[in-house]
Amino acid sequence: MSRKIQRLLIANRGEIAVRIIRAARELGIVTIAIYSTVDRTSPHVRLANEAYNLGDPDPSASYLNIEKILNIAISKNVDAIHPGYGFLSENPDFNEQVEKAGIIFIGPGLAAMKLMGDKILAREVAFKASIPLIPGSIKPVETVTEALKVADKLGYPVLVKASAGGGGKGMRKVDSKESMKESFLRARSEAYSAFGNDSVYIEKFIEKPHHIEIQILADNFGNYIHLNERECSIQRRHQKLIEESPSPLITKEIRNKLAASAIAIAKASNYSNAGTVEFIIDSNLNYYFLEMNTRLQVEHPVTEEITGIDLVKQQIRIAENKKLLLKQDSIHIKKHAIELRIYAEDPENDFLPSTGILDVYRPPKGPGIRVDDGYEEGMSIPIQYDPMLAKLIVTGGTREEAIIRMKYSIEEFIIMGVPNTLQFGHSVMNDSDFINGSYNTNYIQECSTKIDKQTSERTTRLAAAMASHLFMNKKENQIIKDSKNNTFSQWKKRRL
């Protein structure tokens, strides 16, 4: 029996909150935003039908505070909660408490979230489904001594990985037994801080892999489809910076195998709603199951652009207990899409996060250009949250056309006030390794000198151009101010 959602609370902030609000509005759903004190002027607060203050900006007191969020949801007669990504999106306790309150959680069922949200349990599911796995520990590794034994058996380098959560948090590469203790303890500490769970496991580190993921949709009636792959290999600190679809690496044969494996894992876990199954592909094109993300992905727009399918609307439909109307044979890919995540980070300083004020913020416009953002000119970038400013997504008829469109879109996108990854993205689009599709997860380390030089040169040119632009604006405004009695100047001033 279907359940109509009429009032939706978005338990998130920034661009993903804006994205969900827009999809919900098109479905005639009333949207309720929540915000911390530093987000009170954010676009998602203004765009929602209603907005309520969570208080202190610290995540534990705001966007991670289950009690506060549920109190607002219950008191405002909310039908459903969409968690977005990050924060509470993969928290089984939140999922459970939402359902206990009689509110629809827009995401997978509790059992599937617990099963696939724990990477160790997810590996067991993949193993039983006969999906290739990266060699590693089957159970959590509790001590440094145990970690050393596992690593000796696997052979260095290895990865120490948090069993809960994702986004590169709680993950450390270990190259030798001498560095195991520090890496192991740091991974556990970071995992606990990020997810409230310090459980970790160890797996063999695959040299120069590709990171490929398959987007799936599943309803509550046993219907499963995939929406092809996304290439996510350009990363820093195990977090993605550039994604594209289709992958320049994947052949039709490999795509079919990955898709079949993703669907098999979803069926084995009785999964419903949107989800992403991630794989590592080595230099010999062997693939291995990595993990499953039980939520909407940051990079979901590239899939939307090549398929024409609104994933947020599909999530809401499935949460309303409606059958998928999409059929696998109706999914046709005739375009290419690329996404650049624009972070307030300094690429020339190891991508360290930055704060400050967006003195100038002017996104590009035009055919095949999409900007998902949660900031506006003049806003401050808070230190408490992820430093992503926006996502620039371009679509072309071919990969070559998409790359060209991305380059020109970046050139039109003006951001001043905080260091950011915009010019880094431009350098990547001009790099022969990216253009040829011959890149892997080590891309940034291997190309850092070349990319840094291009980024620095372009940033210097942009800064000079903007300084000239601001000077001319100041001069022009002064002329207008000194010509108050001039009719033309008054008209021009009003226009400005």
* CATH number for 409: 3.30.470.20
pLDDT over 90 for what percent of the chain? 82
Q: Which of 204, 222, 250 is the last residue of a domain?
A: 204
386 and 257 co-located in one domain: yes
Q: In sequence order, which residues have a C-beta less than 8 Å from that of residue 327 and are 6 or more positions away? A: 225
Look over the chain and give the mean of its residue pLDDT values, rounded to a whole number: 91
Tell me which residues are annotated as active site.
295
Q: Are residues 228 and 102 in the same domain?
A: no
In a domain, 289, yes or no: yes
**Distance separating alpha carbons of residues 179 and 186, to the nearest angstrom:** 11
Q: Is 405 or 1 the better-scoring residue by pLDDT?
A: 405
Mark whether 235 and 341 lie in a shared domain.
yes
* Residue 84 within any structural domain of the chain: yes
Query: Closest by alpha carbon to 229, among 282, 270, 281?
Result: 281
What is the tally of structural domains in the chain? 3
Give the rounded percent of residues in the chain with a pLDDT score beyond 70: 90
Q: Both 396 and 449 in a single domain?
A: yes
- Residues 19-40, mean pLDDT to the nearest whole number: 98
Give the tens place of pLDDT for each residue, 268-302.
999 999 999 999 999 889 999 999 999 999 999 99
Question: Which residue did the predictor score with more confidence, 283 or 150?
Answer: 150
In a domain? residue 64: yes
In a domain, 314, yes or no: yes
Q: Is residue 1 assigned to a domain?
A: no
Query: Residue 91 sits in which domain range?
Result: 7-106
Domain annotation covers residue 486:
no
Is there a single domain that holds both residue 191 and residue 241?
A: no
pLDDT beyond 60 at 496:
no
pLDDT confidence of residue 483: 39
Whole-number pLDDT of residue 1: 77
Q: How does pLDDT run across 449-462, given as a tens digit for each residue?
A: 666 666 555 555 55
Closest CA to 214 of 270, 246, 268, 258: 258
Say yes or no: 223 and 295 in one domain: yes
Q: What is the CATH number of the domain that holds 169?
A: 3.30.1490.20
Per-residue pLDDT, averaged over 30-42, amounts to 98
**251 and 377 assigned to the same domain:** yes
Query: What pLDDT is stored for residue 85 in this prediction?
Result: 97
Residue 227 lies in a domain: yes
Q: Could you tell me the pLDDT band of residue 474, with boundaries at 50, 70 and 90?
A: low
Nearest of 332, 358, 331, 353 to residue 343 by alpha carbon: 353
Per-residue confidence band for 447, with pLDDT thresholds at 50, 70 and 90? confident
Q: Does residue 12 sit in the same domain as residue 95?
A: yes
State the pLDDT confidence band at 402, using cuts at 50, 70 and 90: very high
For residue 53, pLDDT beyond 90: yes
Q: What is the rounded distance in angstroms from the CA atom of residue 167 to the CA atom of residue 49?
A: 31
| Per-residue pLDDT, 414 | 96
CA distance 174 to 384: 29
Q: Please indicate, yes or no, whether residues 250 and 363 belong to a single structural domain of this protein.
A: yes
Assign 3-class secondary structure to the chain: CCCCCCEEEECCCHHHHHHHHHHHHHCCCEEEEEEEHHHCCCHHHHHCCEEEEEECCCHHHCCCCHHHHHHHHHHCCCCEEECCCCCCCCCHHHHHHHHHCCCEECCCCHHHHHHHHCHHHHHHHHHHCCCCECCECCCCCCCHHHHHHHHHHHCCCEEEEECCCCCCCCEEEECCHHHHHHHHHHHHHHHHHHHCCCCEEEEECCCCCEEEEEEEEECCCCCEEEEEEEEEEEEECCEEEEEEECCCCCCHHHHHHHHHHHHHHHHHCCCCEEEEEEEEECCCCCEEEEEEECCCCCCHHHHHHHHCCCHHHHHHHHHCCCCCCCCHHHCCCCCEEEEEEEECEEHHHCCEECCEECCEEECCCCCCEEEEECCCCCCEECCCCCCEEEEEEEEECCHHHHHHHHHHHHHHCEEECCCCCHHHHHHHHCCHHHHCCCCCCCHHHHHHHHHHHHHHHHHHHHHHHHHHHHHHHHHHHHHHHCCCCCHHHHHHHHHC
Question: Domain check: are 331 and 438 in the same one?
Answer: yes
Residues 232 and 157 placed together within one structural domain of the fold: no
pLDDT surpasses 70 at 73: yes
Beta-sheet pairing, 7-10 with 30-36: parallel
The answer to whether position 313 is within a domain reads yes
CB distance 133 to 127 below 8 Å = yes
Q: What is the CATH number of the domain that holds 61?
A: 3.40.50.20
Please give the Cα distance from 119 to 122 (Å, whole number): 5
Q: How many CB atoms lie within 10 A of CB 284?
A: 5
Give yes or no: residues 230 and 184 share one domain. Answer: no
At 263, the pLDDT band (50, 70, 90 cuts) reads very high
Mean pLDDT of 188-215: 91
